[in-house]
Amino acid sequence: MVNTVDFITPPVDDPYWFGQISAANSISDVYSMGGRPVTALNLVMFPAKQLDMGLLKDILRGGHDKVLEAGACLVGGHSVDDEEPKYGLCVSGVVDPQRIITNAGAKPGDALILTKPIGSGVLFNAVRSGKFPYPELERETLPSIAALNGPAMEAALRFELHACTDLTGFGILGHLLEMAQGAEAMIRVDYRQLPFYSGALEMYNKGETTGSNKANRAMVIRQNLELRMALAPAEEELLYDPQTSGGLLLALPASQADELLTVLHAAGVQDAARIGEVTAEPVGIAVV
């Protein structure tokens, strides 16, 4: 049995999208360990005296629909009156005790696959500041962010999967750093192979950023980060962009990587890409 608790403040104004994204974000923790979600409890903080309760109804409807999509059961919840709306789930799931996947099992010779694009953090902020059109975000980006990581993990478990983590607030390099430390090895990232959400680079070029970029940068620079290729400032910022309901980072033998990509694409995980490798060098990250 695995249990996870996760809730977030609204990354979007539309309450139904917010509910879906929050639920997908919460459920992802079970998937990233190789598990299957079974039950979920709503966790709600909502200013009932300031906002229309119909908004809360749509948030909960979005979360409920995503729980059903995951094949789990919503069994109740807890609510608190608060000044800022927050929503998420406490998720319980089951996992084979002989095959619990962690972020610490990657091995030299492994390839790394990322299953969703990155750059959602700056896009959310750019919508709030009026620099990026919400209809484009809703059309091009939100379906990927709200997508469950279940199909990706189901495909990956058919292979010799050594490690996995889901991408969230630490950005791509922060989560790769944890994987490198767990493996006691170097991770090489091929920047040209990283998938980015449309518009994310443009927003950094326009001066948009997030409240987490600075801290994420400081965290990885302290831990042997090597930028072995010339990047423009906006290109580098994408490496520290925090994600909400990001994709999975998968580590498996390089000989199996191409076949896994084929299976992922056939399963509808169209943005999955091979982004790097694990090498037998001192712990750190090299962007090449």
The total number of structural domains in the chain stands at: 2
**What is the structure's pLDDT at 223?**
84
Specify whether 200 is located in the same domain as 260. yes
Specify whether 197 is located in the same domain as 221. yes
Specify whether 149 is located in the same domain as 82. no
Specify whether 283 is located in the same domain as 147. yes
Specify whether 114 is located in the same domain as 241. yes
Whether residue 104 lies inside any domain: the answer is: no
Q: How far apart are CA 5 and CA 286, in angstroms?
A: 32
Q: Rg of the Cα trace of the chain?
A: 19
What backbone torsions phi and psi does residue 196 show, to the nearest 5 degrees? -120, 145
Q: Is 165 helix (H, G, I), strand (E, B) or coil?
A: strand
pLDDT in tens, 105-123: 999 999 999 999 999 999 9
Select from 141, 140, 220 the least CA-distant residue to 180: 220
Q: How far is CA 75 from the centre of its chain?
A: 25
Domain residues for the domain of 214 are 110-287
Specify whether 72 is located in the same domain as 127. no
pLDDT reading at 10 higher than 70 = no
Specify whether 219 is located in the same domain as 166. yes
Domain boundary among 94, 120, 146: 94
Q: Is the pTM of this model over 0.75?
A: yes
Q: How far apart are CA 74 and CA 91, in angstroms?
A: 9
Residue 176's alpha-carbon distances to 1, 4, 10, 182, in angstroms, are 26, 21, 26, 10
Mean pLDDT of 20-24: 96
Domain boundary among 67, 94, 121: 94
Specify whether 211 is located in the same domain as 235. yes
CATH number at residue 245: 3.90.650.10
Specify whether 250 is located in the same domain as 125. yes
Specify whether 10 is located in the same domain as 76. yes
Specify whether 55 is located in the same domain as 126. no
Question: CA dihedral in degrees (239, 112, 282, 213; nearest 10)?
Answer: 10
| Summary mean pLDDT of the chain | 94
pLDDT in tens, 193-228: 999 999 999 999 999 999 999 999 999 998 889 999
Specify whether 174 is located in the same domain as 278. yes
CATH number at residue 16: 3.30.1330.10
